[in-house]
Amino acid sequence: MSFAPAGSLLDVIEGGDNWLFLRRYENLHVLDLQTDLSSWSQTHLPILTAQFAGRHAKLAARGISYVVAIAPEKSSIYPEKLPSEYRLASPTLAELLTTACRQAGVEAVDLTSALRLAKGAMDLYFRVDSHWTYYGAYIAYRSIIEAIQKRVDVSVVQPHQILYHDKEGFGDLGVHMRPERRGLLQQVTLSSEVEAQIKAYDDRERAYASYTCQDGRSKAVILRDSFATFMSPYLARSFSTSTFVSPPLALHEDMIEDLEPDVVIHLYSERALLYYPEGLADWDARSWRQTYLEAYENPQWANLIRPLRRSLIEKRFDESVKLGQQLSDAGGWALEHNLAEALIGARLYEKAIEACDRMELRGNATAFSYFLKAYGQRALGRGEAVATLREALRTRPQHARFLYELGLWLAQDGDLPEAAAALHAALESAPGFLQGWSELSRVNAEMGDKSAAEIRGSRQ
């Protein structure tokens, strides 16, 4: 039986022994899509593998370890509890990607096998929730730590340091049943202490939290999703400094430059693999501080920054312009890139350029403001747009999004060799960007370099 209350983002299905499973999340039919992965293996898998391999290469060049771990769906670990009409594909999404990453030289942890081997009297996943229990998370944590210890000195939380206890609750699936289904929700208490240094969020769009632990060793950045909530008590005690960043879809290079971790852990839920990968996910035009810490570092203007960011995401640009102007009038000049972005969205390009010029005059110009100024100039047909975009690249060299845009503009202007060079540089930073390979192939073909076009096209 399936349950989907009116207006719900979730569709829940009940299996054997009262186990609940996530059937649909928004427009993503999680269970149905996992019954046949042949198409996914041809479309999503190569791009995801290229992205993880590219991240590994960038971090390795800095001497930073990188570990990828896919948190399996409950259905991948307990398929016997599913309704009889569901027969999930084998190998699973997580197993396919883990194998592909390993073949590409990426340290990828097989959490699916570890959890299946640990099945027994103690549930590894909540029966009324889509996530693993704290015990299941601990099993996964030990597998990840084992991989990290190959290169990084790290503390390990031992079983005797953990006290498990249960309380009743609904869980993220039980609450969607009619009537609501209660069940046991495992809790955990650990002996050592962790101190929170930073906790920042912007209307749940982005979350950033940093912790210190006297018993921990080394520094880690954890790109996390909801499964990491149940692993964070262990990870936070393993490192002297642990930084949790969500959502885990992107690895911001400028964040890594600033934080200088010893290891980056990429914890990705299996269901998220069903979304088509964003080729330039790692290359936000904003800096990581502009993305994660604007409201936290400017609390006096947080009441303007958060709704402004939300209106930008939802493309309500008239509202964004009003909020951005209020922020500027209140003295938030260093944050005027928000107003410039709103003006670009509202197609008020002249005013957007003026806002960027004000930032430059005050010494507050950033790569993002140069990018916005260049975009506005290009929209107005001004020849200086390319030079302004190069200024953004001077501030953030090898930025794939900026390089890709530069390649497009140069190609449109007829400077094909320079366009090809910019596109090639973009793809060196973002090897999983399929649209970029297609554009480079087109430019090479237009130059008459048929062999290069065929080579680049084969990379698709």
pLDDT band, residue 3 (cuts 50/70/90): low
pLDDT at 204: 65
pLDDT at 8: 60
Picking from 426, 418, 420, the residue whose alpha carbon sits closest to that of residue 279 is: 426
Q: Is 452's pLDDT higher than 70?
A: no
CB 34 within 8 A of CB 13: no
Which sequence spans correspond to the domains of the chain? 36-169+181-274, 288-458
pLDDT at 459: 41
The distance of Cα 194 from the centroid of its chain, to the nearest Å, equals 25
- Averaged pLDDT, 354-378: 97
pLDDT at 62: 95
- Averaged pLDDT, 341-368: 97
- Cα distances (Å, whole numbers) of residue 216 to 109, 135, 219, 297, 459: 22, 21, 9, 27, 43
**Domain 288-458 top-level CATH class:** mainly alpha
Query: pTM (2 decimals)?
Result: 0.92
| pLDDT tens-place string over residues 141-165 | 999 999 999 999 999 999 999 999 9
pLDDT at 15: 95
Q: What is the mean pLDDT of the chain?
A: 93
pLDDT at 448: 85
CB 288 within 8 A of CB 246: no
Q: Is 450's pLDDT higher than 60?
A: no
pLDDT at 232: 97
| 3 state SS for the chain | CEECCCCCCEEEEECHHHCEEEEEECCECHHHHCCCCHHHHHHHHHHHHHHHHHHHHHHHHCCCEEEEEEECCHHHHCHHHCCCCCCCCCCCHHHHHHHHHHHCCCEEECHHHHHHHHCCCCCCECCCCCCECHHHHHHHHHHHHHHHCCCCCCCCCCHHHEEEEEEEECHHHHCCCCCCCCEEEEEEEECCCCEEEEEEECCCCCEEEEEECCCCCCEEEEECCHHHHHCHHHHCCCCCEEEEEECCCCCCHHHHHHHCCCEEEEEEEHHHHHCCCCCCCCCCCCCHHHHHCHHHHCHHHHHHHHHHHHHHHCCCHHHHHHHHHHHHHCCCHHHCHHHHHHHHHCCCHHHHHHHHHHHHHCCCCCHHHHHHHHHHHHHCCCCCHHHHHHHHHHHCCCCHHHHHHHHHHHHHCCCHHHHHHHHHHHHHHCCCCHHHHHHHHHHHHHCCCHHHHHHHHHCC
Work out the angle at residue 118's Cα, subtended by the Cα atoms of residues 34 and 91, and round it to the nearest 5 degrees. 25
Q: Is 404's pLDDT higher than 90?
A: yes
| pLDDT tens-place string over residues 312-342 | 999 999 999 999 999 999 999 999 999 999 9
- Cα distances (Å, whole numbers) of residue 200 to 66, 284, 292: 24, 18, 7
Q: Report which residue type is found at 160.
A: H
The Cα–Cα gap between 22 and 27 comes to 12
Q: Is 75's pLDDT higher than 70?
A: yes
CB 34 within 8 A of CB 91: no
| pLDDT tens-place string over residues 225-263 | 999 999 999 999 999 999 999 988 889 989 999 999 999
Q: Is 455's pLDDT higher than 50?
A: no
C-alpha neighbours within 13 Å on the C-beta side of residue 192: 22
Picking from 118, 154, 152, the residue whose alpha carbon sits closest to that of residue 138 is: 118
Q: In this structure, how many other beta carbons lie within 10 angstroms of the beta carbon of residue 41?
A: 16
- Averaged pLDDT, 380-398: 96
pLDDT at 453: 45
- Cα distances (Å, whole numbers) of residue 113 to 20, 88, 91, 92, 447: 22, 16, 11, 11, 50
Q: Give me 184's structure tokens.
A: 């046991």
Percent of the chain with pLDDT over 90: 89
Q: Is 460's pLDDT higher than 50?
A: no
pLDDT at 71: 98
